[in-house]
Each structure stands twice: as structure tokens, then as C-alpha cells.
Chains A and B, each alone.
Chain A
């Protein structure tokens, strides 16, 4: 990173959130495999030093799956380089970040189709069939 102010680049002011979070992910992943229990970590609830959030994201990286959801602004759901560890970022219609979560799960529930929406779709399909008959 090109920085004039060391403090803003996270090179000197290190609170060490990285190691505890990575450990938490490791434990959660173990729990997921053993018992099937999912865990969600809210990254915005932690006092991050400047540059720490970016460091965590770059350490986790992006793996095989990238998904974008368009509901009240875009949300991105990426599986990291570590299977079962997903990074979910919610944005609003002005593209500002509303929430950042690390989900340790088989698939983040926000990706699944919701029953109510499916019911609504079921109600709308007959109209489609009627049009095209």
C-alpha cells in the first residue's frame, strides 16, 4: 500500500484482531464438520485498526464461488479459499456497505430461495402460462 501516514495503513498500529478471528473461524469450521452447526461472525462489531479488515479479507481470499444478490442494493456472497468459510457483504442502493459477515456454513441462508417468495412465484406462474397458451 502506498501510504504517507503509517498509522492509517495498519503497518504500525496492530491490534491483533487477525489471529483471534482466524482461530474463531477454525473452531467454527470444526464445529460445522462435527455437528453441522453454522456460525456467523459480525465483522463490524469489532474495533478494527486501520487496514485490518482488508488484511483479513485478503488472507481469506476468494475461492470457487462468487454470487451477487440484488435485493435493496447488491450483496456479494463469496466462498473464501477455505471451503465452508463464506464472506457476505451487504450494500445499499448507493453502494455503501451496510454489513460484513463471515459465515461458516454449507451455504449462507440468504442464497437459498425463500418459501414466501416461492409461494408468490407459484401464484404468478399461472398468469405466465395463460399468456403463452
Chain B
């Protein structure tokens, strides 16, 4: 249940000293991709922040986002976030099951109506809502009902943000994203497949600290984490500039760490924090490990032309199209040519003359 104590009071009650609190603020600022100069501001804001109620609903998803978050190895910050927020409902994580869960959910929503944060992962099948249900309630109905009393909605993972994997062609379940369905509440998209764990908690921490929606880009993502292009932050960029590309995954170029453009890297059109924040507490990220960026925080990344086809390659078979053009062109050409010959023969027969106007016709 939501608490009336401020965050600082709660941390104090947990036996955390002010020095510990400052350490928390410094690492939170780093996690939120804010300048260290902001730490005093964060400390001041957190001192007075109150503990919001959070409801997490999981729909048509693979649970990877929850796994990413809970499997992360810097539990102090995440743990604190979750101790600090009141996670009143989470299908996978909560200990209760059955009807008790439904009751708890309804209670949480009623008690905190208009004030709770709704977190959603997974897409919502709209084609036939029966494709994904919980306790006999379709995801679509559950989302609409829960959204009514939410202060803000956070779509975690590309499935909730843009449809993700279920949305990929031919989208058999009619999967839709949260923003396709809910139009009257502020929505923060935190895409990624899965998102970097520290990004998920960073966004929550930002909301907690400043009490308002962070600055969002044109696709609804927080600028703090999604404001930079992977390509612009990639350490292999000098190789791209010099035109040194790896041709296969095990050639000399690959071993030397050359650019992975030819192996399908979608870095140039992807916005995420992977190149700076990296994964597993800064251990590495796909490009550093030798695999091109999949573009997993972008809409339609499953249909972006193939993970291993270069970004410049067309997504359709152009040779085939050219063949069609050639065949049709030949047919039309023969017909047009025959018509022209007919006209020419007629002109010769009738002794037609050529005038200046005829010559100007083609100009």
C-alpha cells in the first residue's frame, strides 16, 4: 500500500545514513544519465518524494522484460526502487495467486484512483481479444479498465511500446501497442527487447524524483536514454568512417573489431543507451561482442529487412521486379514498335512531308 512518509524518511527508517543516501543519489543520477552536477537537486527532490503505488500488468509478452529487470545484478538500486515504490500488483512476481490476486488488484486501483503508475509489458491482441486473457478478462479490457485511474502509463519493452514481436508481419493476433489503444493518458515508452534494466529503473527513478513525465522524443521515449543514436555513440565508428567493414563473422576484419554495417547492423537508425550504458553493468553490448545491432528499440524492427542484411539493401527482391519490368516492357515495346512501323509505312505511302513543327515536337 502507498505510504505517506517521504523517501528520505523511509530510507532513514531502514538504517541508511545520509552518506548512504548521497551515494544512492550519485548512482541514481548516473543511472538517469544526468550530469553529476544534478546530484544536489536529486537529493532535494528525493527527500520530499512520496511513495507511489505501482501496478504492473503483463499481456502478450515473453516475460523477458521482467526477467531483465529482476535478473539484473545491481539490486541495490533496483531493490531500493522497488522497496520505495509500492509494487501492489505484478502477475509474475507477486506471491499470491488466484482470486486473491484479482481482489488485490481491484483494491489497489480503487484506493489509489488517479494516482497510481501503470506499467505494462507485452502487446495487446485486438484482432481477437481472446488470444490473451487473464482470469477470463481480455488484455484489452484489463488495460482500458486499469488505464482509467492511472496517473501515467509506462510501456516497458518494444511489445508494449510498438507491438514488438507479435506485431511482426503478418501480425496473426492483431497485436497493438498501448499507445494505439489508450489516447487520453500520458504514456512513456521504454522500448528494447528487452530494455536495459537500468533504463527501466532509471525512468521510474526519474518519475519518482521529479514527479513528472521526462522529456520524450517523437516516438514517446525518454530523451535521457533514447536521445542518442547508437551509430553516433558506437566505438567502432572510426572504422565506418574509414570504410573498413567486416564481411563475415569470423574474418580478419571481424577479429580486428571493424564496423558491422555489412553484417546487418541497424545502429544508424536505432536510438538506445546500449553504446554508453552497455549491458550487465557495463560489461559489453552486442556490437562490442561482435554482432550487429538489431534495432530492438525501434518500431517494426522485426520487419526491417533482415537482421543480417545491410541497412542499405532493399527489403524486396529487386531482380524479380526488374524481371517483371523487362517482360512487361518487352510486350508493350513490341506493340508500340509495331504501331510505329505501321505509322511510318503509312507516312511513306502517303508521301507525308516533314515540317519544322514536327522537328520541334520532341524538344
The yes or no answer to A98 lying at the interface (CB within 8 A) is: yes
Is there an interface contact between A44 and B19, defined as CB atoms closer than 8 Å?
Answer: no
Given contacts A45-B276, A99-B26, contact A13 B76 (CB under 8 A): no
Rounded to whole Å, the gap between the CB of A119 and the closest CB of chain B is: 9
Is there an interface contact between A69 and B19, defined as CB atoms closer than 8 Å?
Answer: yes
The yes or no answer to A47 lying at the interface (CB within 8 A) is: yes
Instruction: Tell me which of B29-37, B176-184, B293-301 binds A.
Output: B29-37
Is there an interface contact between A92 and B276, defined as CB atoms closer than 8 Å?
Answer: no
Is there an interface contact between B73 and A7, defined as CB atoms closer than 8 Å?
Answer: no
Cα-based distance from A49 to B75 in the complex (angstroms):
26
Is there an interface contact between A47 and B276, defined as CB atoms closer than 8 Å?
Answer: yes
Interface class of chain B by DSSP? helix
Q: Which residues of A contact B276 (CB under 8 A)?
A: 44-47
7 smallest CB-CB distances across A and B, nearest first, come from A7-B257, A40-B36, A92-B76, A71-B20, A114-B18, A13-B257, A49-B235
Given contacts A42-B30, A94-B73, A98-B76, contact A117 B18 (CB under 8 A): yes
Q: Which residues of B contact A5 (CB under 8 A)?
A: 255
- A18-47 contacts to B (CB < 8 Å): 40-42, 44-47
Is there an interface contact between B30 and A44, defined as CB atoms closer than 8 Å?
Answer: yes
Interchain residue pairs with CB less than 8 A apart (6): A7-B256, A7-B257, A13-B257, A45-B33, A48-B235, A92-B77
Q: Which residues of A contact B39 (CB under 8 A)?
A: 40
Q: Which residues of B contact A8 (CB under 8 A)?
A: 288
Contact with A along B216-244 (1 / 0, CB 8 A): 00000000000000000111111100000
Is there an interface contact between A116 and B255, defined as CB atoms closer than 8 Å?
Answer: no
Q: Which residues of A contact B23 (CB under 8 A)?
A: 69, 71-72, 75, 90, 110
Cα-based distance from A50 to B37 in the complex (angstroms):
27
Given contacts A42-B36, A44-B277, contact A110 B76 (CB under 8 A): no
Rounded to whole Å, the gap between the CB of B14 and the closest CB of chain A is: 10
Contact with A along B118-137 (1 / 0, CB 8 A): 00000000000000000000
Contact with A along B99-129 (1 / 0, CB 8 A): 0000000000000000000000000000000
Is there an interface contact between B281 and A90, defined as CB atoms closer than 8 Å?
Answer: no
Is there an interface contact between A44 and B282, defined as CB atoms closer than 8 Å?
Answer: yes
